[in-house]
């Protein structure tokens, strides 16, 4: 299955995708130095200028990460009902879920926060993205460690004609006691990169425009969480003007927009 990369966007503790690319700071993302760092909240100040404001006032931090990373990726020429969204996240909204648990424990069931509860639902970031990017096709949130299956899902939706374009993303946030919980319950340690978001805007590929192939060994990064896997894929897709990235083990291929041109 051949997919075409239309655009990329991301936000990480090392900055936006554009800043990472310009500064050639890819290695910082993967060497563990940024594992415990948060994305700079100053990026959120730009949101008001990037979106019409729907729900921004109440959007939880995880959704704000997603909105900032996906800014400019709305496929304007594709009708809203033919736009789909696939989000892969290991833990969904850690902040909102813990806020609800805190309110439940501190205030008791009669006063637990309904806002935190609704924001804690696993697909809330997808919902907020769909509102702000006017995505009216399928929005699919996968709560798992493997980003590659998100790619499979996006490919199936495009191949089956359920969507003309898919915004595929990975998303995660560091919040509260979560790093401690990971250390206690997962002796192997937390994923190397847990905070931020990365998005690929995908459409069906064109076999006559395939560029030189590059391999992406998704299973090799399978234990690092979906966000780290997606950034590794982005590091192959972003810097080169013409290539086709082969993503094992299902042999999905992604061609960069300039490939073959």
Partner 1 sequence: MEVWVTGLGGLCAAGRNIEEIWASLLAGRRAGPKPPARLLALTEFRNLEGLGHPAFSLPDDCFPEGFRHSARDSLDLAEAAGREALAQAGIAAAELAEGGGLIMGGTAGNALHFLKDYDALRRGAVSPGQGFVDFFEHNPAEGLARRWGLRLPTWTVGNACCSGADAVGLGLSLIRSGRFKRVLAGGADALSLTPYVGFRRLMIYSDEPCRPFDGRRQGLNLGEGAGALMLESADSAGARGARPLARLLAYAAASDAHHLTAPHPEARGLRRAIAAALGQAAVRPAELAFVKAHGTATRDNDRTEALAVNQEIPGTPLWALKGSTGHTLGAAGALETALGVTALNRGRLPASQGFQEADPELKLAPSGPLESLKGSAALCLSLGFGGGNSALLLGRA
Q: Given the rule CB under 8 A, which residues bind partner 1?
A: 1, 55, 80-81, 85, 89, 91-92, 94, 97-98, 100-102, 104-105, 108-110, 112-114, 117-124, 126-128, 130-131, 134-146, 149, 152-153, 155-157, 159-160, 162, 177-178, 180-181, 184-186, 250
Could you tell me the smallest distance in angstroms from the CB atom of residue 125 to partner 1? 9
Q: In whole angstroms, how close is the CB of 205 to partner 1 at the nearest point?
A: 14
Min separation Cβ 19 and partner 1, Å:
30
Q: Are 220 and 176 in contact (CB under 8 A)?
A: no
* DSSP code of residue 58: T
Note whether 128 and 122 are within 8 A (CB): no
Shorter beta-carbon distance to partner 1: residue 22 or 111: 111
Label residues 75-101 b or e (16+ Cβ within 10 Å = b).
beebeeeebbbbbbbbbbbbbbbbbbb
**Nearest by Cα to 257 from 1, 69, 7:** 7
Q: How far is the CB of 23 from partner 1 (least distance, A)?
A: 34
Nearer to partner 1 among residue 79 and residue 212 (C-beta): 79
Q: In 3-state terms, what secondary structure has residue 5? A: strand
Give least dist CB 28 to partner 1, A. Answer: 27
Nearer to partner 1, 24 or 108 (CB): 108
Name the residue nearer to partner 1 (CB basis): 17 or 154. 154
Strands (E), 113-212: 139-143, 165-172, 196-204
CB-based contacts of 102, cutoff 8 Å, min separation 6: none
The one-character DSSP state at 239 is S
Would you call 167 helix, strand, or coil by DSSP?
strand
Q: What is the C-alpha separation between 233 and 146, in angstroms, rounded?
A: 13
Closest CB to partner 1 among residues 9, 190: 190
Between 118 and 209, whose beta carbon lies closer to partner 1? 118
Question: Whole-number minimum distance, CB 109 to partner 1, in Å?
Answer: 4
């Amino acid at each position: 299955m051949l997919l075409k990369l239309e655009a990329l966007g991301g936000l990480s503790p090392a900055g936006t995708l554009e800043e990472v690319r310009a500064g050639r700071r890819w290695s910082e993302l993967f060497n563990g130095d940024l594992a415990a760092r948060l994305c700079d909240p100053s990026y959120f100040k730009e949101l008001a200028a990037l979106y019409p404001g729907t729900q921004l006032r109440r959007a939880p931090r995880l959704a704000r990460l997603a909105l900032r990373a996906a800014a400019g990726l709305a496929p304007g020429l594709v009708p809203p009902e033919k736009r789909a969204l696939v989000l892969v996240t290991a833990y969904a909204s850690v902040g909102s879920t813990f806020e609800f648990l805190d309110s439940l424990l501190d205030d008791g069931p009669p006063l637990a926060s309904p806002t935190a509860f609704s924001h804690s639902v696993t697909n809330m970031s997808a919902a907020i993205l769909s509102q702000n990017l006017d995505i009216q096709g399928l929005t699919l949130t996968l709560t798992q460690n493997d980003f590659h299956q998100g790619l499979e899902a996006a490919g199936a939706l495009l191949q089956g004609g359920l969507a003309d374009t898919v915004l595929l993303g990975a998303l995660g946030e560091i919040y509260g006691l979560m790093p401690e919980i990971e250390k206690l319950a997962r002796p192997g340690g937390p994923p190397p990169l847990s905070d931020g978001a990365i998005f690929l805007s995908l459409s069906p590929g064109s076999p006559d425009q395939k560029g030189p192939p590059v391999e992406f060994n998704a299973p090799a990064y399978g234990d690092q969480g979906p966000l780290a896997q997606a950034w590794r894929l982005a590091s192959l897709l972003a810097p080169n003007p013409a290539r086709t990235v082969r993503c094992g083990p299902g042999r999905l291929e992604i061609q960069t927009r300039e490939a073959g041109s």
